[in-house]
Structure 1
Amino acid sequence: MKKVLLTFVMILMVGVLAACSDGEKNPKEATTKEGEAAGDSGAQTIKVVFKDDGPSNPVAVSYYEKLSEGLKKDLDLDVKFDLVEVAQGDYAEKLNLLLYSGEIPDLIYFQGADKQIADQGLLEDLTPYIEDSKYIKSIMNPYNEARLRNYPYLLWIKPLDNRVPVVRKDWFDQASSSATLMENPTVDNYKAFFKEIVQIGDTKNAVTVAGDIRELDYTFDMAFGINKTWLDSEKGFEHYKVSSQTKDKLEFYRQLYEEGLLDPQYLTKKHDTKQEVFYNGETAVIPGTNGKVIDIYNDRMRVLNGEESQLQVLPPAKGEYQGFGATDISKESRGLAISSQSKNKDLVFQVLDYLASPEGQKLDRLGFEGEHYNVVDGKVELTEKYYGDWYARYWEPNNVEFEVAESTPLLGDAAEKSLLSVADYYSEDNSFVLPEEYVAQWDAMENLYKEYSADIITGKKPLEAFDDYVKKWYAAGGESLTKYANDNLK
């Protein structure tokens, strides 16, 4: 009965969505003046849904007001933005409930669960818009271009979100093993460094992560030979999570755990508690997202522990390969989409393209003049409020066309080094978007991996239990998925 009811509800939802469709998919169609704001004769309204940027957020309201002013001044476009509030909770889930209710904004930010919307033809193919763009096509990264070819509905021009390990520089400078680690960051040299850094910092452990080992994998996967999702073996393509390479990696993590180097409470850590134990000296090393996040960690550490505690970025472990993991190019995992039902599609993309222009970037990257930055002698000087509060909502290209004062850089040394390090080790993955018929099976297979990897690392199960896990993984759907991979991967 539950299945019948669920099917009926989904059919009803699709019907509501389909009923909203009355526009063509031609990207060159003329925009309309639908949604004209009261008192703004001639203004065209774009409805936007963006995580945390509802009308209850005063900074977001100011941001879109200033964006409207910039569009009018620089492009003579009279545009108003109608911000949609998303209910608190899981954003992907709440957003889809909003969309299934029939309210489909013109511009939509997704953070997961977009494919089922795209599969219903409700998201616009961005390819022709980008080809004709003035600015966006020139700021895209190779991985943006590859992802767009594979999945043309989402765009997210940001640095890669790889995790890089960081440590306090004052402790790093005291460690005799630091130079060896930087010159030859083998797994064994990493372990030696971990042991020494615990003694120098008098910490409880060497490294912690937030809840599972994925953050640690960015540093160690490639050293163990895990350079792609599907490894090329004698039997064909094999998923790395059932490979001998993963078994060897789990054995290494188990050793770190047994020797007190890996936080014994890592499974219960959240991102905020992970950061807290790093700042207060209970752990020596944490992985952080390269770029802005490393800057936030660095600034907070210096405030709490003094200037000498600024952060040092550590290299990826070196072994069979070296790097911070292969980059998934199957699709953007998050990003901006244009509704195929919008009557303002050209206008929406004009806004996105403007945000990639020098004028748009000045707002998006720097914030509000007089509050987040000032212009002194032709150079941008960032304020403390910028460092504490501001982030780019839309695009973060590698280069900007405004000059920032050396005394107030967009990113500090550690953050800049983290970006460069990730870029230096860039390589592409061979993962693919999971077909719908495998989704439920994949969830079960993932749960098996999480259970067995946690139990093996913490000693609840012996290392040999990995072989039992592999059998269960294949039985839970891995066999058919592996066949699919071998039939479709080149």
Structure 2
Amino acid sequence: MKKFLLTLITAVTVFGLIACSNETTSDKEKENSGDGTTIRVVYKDETNSNPVSVKYFDELEKALEKDKDIKVNFELVDLPQGNYAEKLTLLLYGGDIPDMIYFQGGDQSLTQQGLLEDLTPYIEESEYLKDALSPYNQKRLENYPYLLWIKPLSAKTPVIRKDWFEQMETSEKLMADPTVENYHAFFKELVEKKPGGSTPNYAVTVAGDLEEINFTFNMAFGISQSWLEKSDGTYEYYKVSKNEKEKIAYYQKLYEDGLLDPQFVTKQWDTKEKAFYDGEAAVVSGTAGKVIDIYNGKMKQVNGDEAELVVLPPAKGIDQGFGVTDVTKESRGVAISSQSEHKELVFDILDYLASPEGQKLDRLGFEGEHYNVKDGEIEVTEKYYGEWYARFWEPTELTFDQPLKTPLLSGPATESQEMTIEYFKEDNSFILPEEYVANWDAMENLYREYTTDIITGKRPIDDFDKFVDAWMEAGGTQITEYANKTIK
């Protein structure tokens, strides 16, 4: 009976949502300003209060009209402060569905209700996007054709300022043989020697959970896929494996020795980065490529050129690498509302952003600020390195109408990308059926609760076994059975 009522409520909600969203789109059609079509966009960090965002979309309007004779007026939809995925879900379930939507979670429920457009036919007929896709983008779109996110591999790589790195006696040994033991010795020397005079206070910090440094350490502990094959040929989820238990014991030791930020649970992105620039933390992890580029630019701006970043290698043990790449779907990306009256136009805009002209704005920023053209060559500025990032696409093959005089990424950023590609490995994860999603969320909460308590010393490491039992009871048994039927 409960299941029937839930299905009925969901059906009524979806019907009302679609009706409401159609009405909203119709109302917005009447609000077109000038002679361009209004395209409503909701996109994390791109808000009306951000002058760079406003200028970017103004410049995009001009470029579209100049290069493609497409006349649009972008309307940025602001969300209340807080968790983006949660606030976006509230907006969409309230019936306000913009034409172009950036998701960072929460998209699957909308997809299952038919509210996101299947992008497959659009991409097949595209002028630029079909050639901009990397192999992992193509696989993700085959599995889940509703989100588009053309970016380099998003592994997070650890970095440290060069002037501190060179003062450590353990640096050379770490680079030559980055075992978990050598990482511990390196972290310990940083805290004991304090190359900043009175800092660092701790060796490494993260923003809220341990996913960032998992990229460095997972594979060393044999966590080389989401589902690990056991000796009997069956699979178990890595978070309930003996490999994970050994890794959590290692993190517990880092915490106990004062090497892991004692406030790691409450750290946010901004406070993590501030701790890094201020020298409270010696090592942070950032997404390979542009994020490392921004970290490098800001670190040099605050502490001088000698503080240029050094990229540290992934820890080595049973395996080595910066984690595995999930190809089930894009974990984030841009979607088109199936209720939009401008679906083709929205896709044309996305396709334009993959063109040489569109990439010039998206990748280079504003002429005179982030780059200049001298003697027919493009030269990026210091402001570019420290501030600019592509709002949309970063295809591997990049062509502009003029040659580049200066590289788009600094040395450390380029190295981080190259190391990520070097250690690429495909995951064996799969899209979880909707019937298991609620259980999965509860199981993830159990994981965070137990592992945080173990790492911070509130629980002994043997309580990991209690966590495994609780995880299985919360739905792990059924999901593990499903995994063993699904994984080929």
**TM-score (structure 2 length as normaliser):** 0.91
The aligned runs of 1:60-459 (5 Å cut-off) are 60-200=53-193, 201=195, 203-235=200-232, 236-402=234-400, 403-406=403-406, 409-459=407-457
Residue identity matched to 2:418 = L
Residue identity matched to 2:208 = G
State the Cα deviation string for residues 257-284 of structure 1 (Å, max 9, x = none).
2222222332232222222222222222
Residue identity matched to 2:54 = V
Residues 15 and 71 of structure 1, relative CA distance in 2, 3 Å threshold = same
Q: Alpha-carbon deviation of 1:138?
A: 1.5
Residues 51 and 210 of structure 1, relative CA distance in 2, 3 Å threshold = closer
Q: Give ranges in structure 2 of 5+ residues lacking alignment.
A: 23-27
Which secondary structure does the structure 1 equivalent of 2:152 belong to?
A: coil
* Count of equivalent residues: 476
Between 1:87-96 and 1:219-228, the stretch displaced more is 87-96
Between 1:361-370 and 1:257-266, the stretch displaced more is 257-266
Residue identity matched to 1:405 = K
Q: Alpha-carbon deviation of 1:424?
A: 1.1
Q: Indicate yes or no: 2:32 matched with 1:37.
A: yes
Task: Give the aligned partner of residue 466 of structure 2.
Answer: 468
Measure the CA separation in 2 of the matches of 1:252 and 1:275: 24
Which secondary structure does the structure 2 equivalent of 1:99 belong to?
A: helix
State the Cα deviation string for residues 245-267 of structure 1 (Å, max 9, x = none).
01111121122222222223322
Measure the CA separation in 1 of the matches of 2:261 and 2:77: 41
Task: Give the aligned partner of residue 14 of structure 2.
Answer: 14
Measure the CA separation in 1 of the matches of 2:348 and 2:21: 22
Q: Alpha-carbon deviation of 1:482?
A: 0.5
Residue identity matched to 1:229 = S
Measure the CA separation in 2 of the matches of 1:111 and 1:56: 21
Task: Give the aligned partner of residue 25 of structure 2.
Answer: none
Contact 1:20 1:341 (8 Å CA) reproduced:
no
Contact 1:35 1:45 (8 Å CA) reproduced:
no
Matched-pair identity in %: 60
Task: Give the aligned partner of residue 25 of structure 1.
Answer: none
Measure the CA separation in 1 of the matches of 2:48 and 2:317: 50
Residue identity matched to 1:146 = K
Residue identity matched to 2:32 = A
Q: Alpha-carbon deviation of 1:370?
A: 2.1
Which secondary structure does the structure 2 equivalent of 1:48 belong to?
A: strand
Measure the CA separation in 2 of the matches of 1:323 and 1:98: 39
State the Cα deviation string for residues 128-167 of structure 1 (Å, max 9, x = none).
2112212112121222111111100000111232211111
Contact 1:35 1:44 (8 Å CA) reproduced:
no
Contact 1:209 1:286 (8 Å CA) reproduced:
yes
Q: Give ranges in structure 1 of 5+ residues lacking alignment.
A: 23-32
Which secondary structure does the structure 2 equivalent of 1:165 belong to?
A: strand
Q: Alpha-carbon deviation of 1:450?
A: 1.2
Measure the CA separation in 1 of the matches of 2:275 and 2:79: 32
Give the alignment partner of residue 52 of structure 1, picking from 33, 36, 45.
45
Residues 176 and 356 of structure 1, relative CA distance in 2, 3 Å threshold = same
Residue identity matched to 1:381 = E
Residue identity matched to 1:324 = F
Between 1:10-19 and 1:149-158, the stretch displaced more is 10-19
Contact 2:200 2:281 (8 Å CA) reproduced:
yes
Q: Alpha-carbon deviation of 1:388?
A: 4.1
Q: Alpha-carbon deviation of 1:104?
A: 2.5
Between 1:327-336 and 1:455-464, the stretch displaced more is 455-464
Contact 1:50 1:109 (8 Å CA) reproduced:
yes
- Aligned Cα RMSD in Å? 2.5
**TM-score (structure 1 length as normaliser):** 0.90
Q: Alpha-carbon deviation of 1:197?
A: 2.7
Residues 457 and 137 of structure 1, relative CA distance in 2, 3 Å threshold = same
Q: Alpha-carbon deviation of 1:3?
A: 11
Between 1:425-434 and 1:342-351, the stretch displaced more is 342-351
Residue identity matched to 1:73 = K
Residues 300 and 62 of structure 1, relative CA distance in 2, 3 Å threshold = closer
Contact 2:207 2:264 (8 Å CA) reproduced:
yes
Measure the CA separation in 2 of the matches of 1:4 and 1:144: 38
Measure the CA separation in 1 of the matches of 2:258 and 2:50: 44
State the Cα deviation string for residues 320-354 of structure 1 (Å, max 9, x = none).
11111111111111111112222322222111111
Residues 283 and 371 of structure 1, relative CA distance in 2, 3 Å threshold = closer
Q: Alpha-carbon deviation of 1:119?
A: 0.5
Measure the CA separation in 2 of the matches of 1:95 and 1:400: 32
Residues 199 and 143 of structure 1, relative CA distance in 2, 3 Å threshold = same
Measure the CA separation in 1 of the matches of 2:11 and 2:431: 24
Contact 1:163 1:218 (8 Å CA) reproduced:
yes
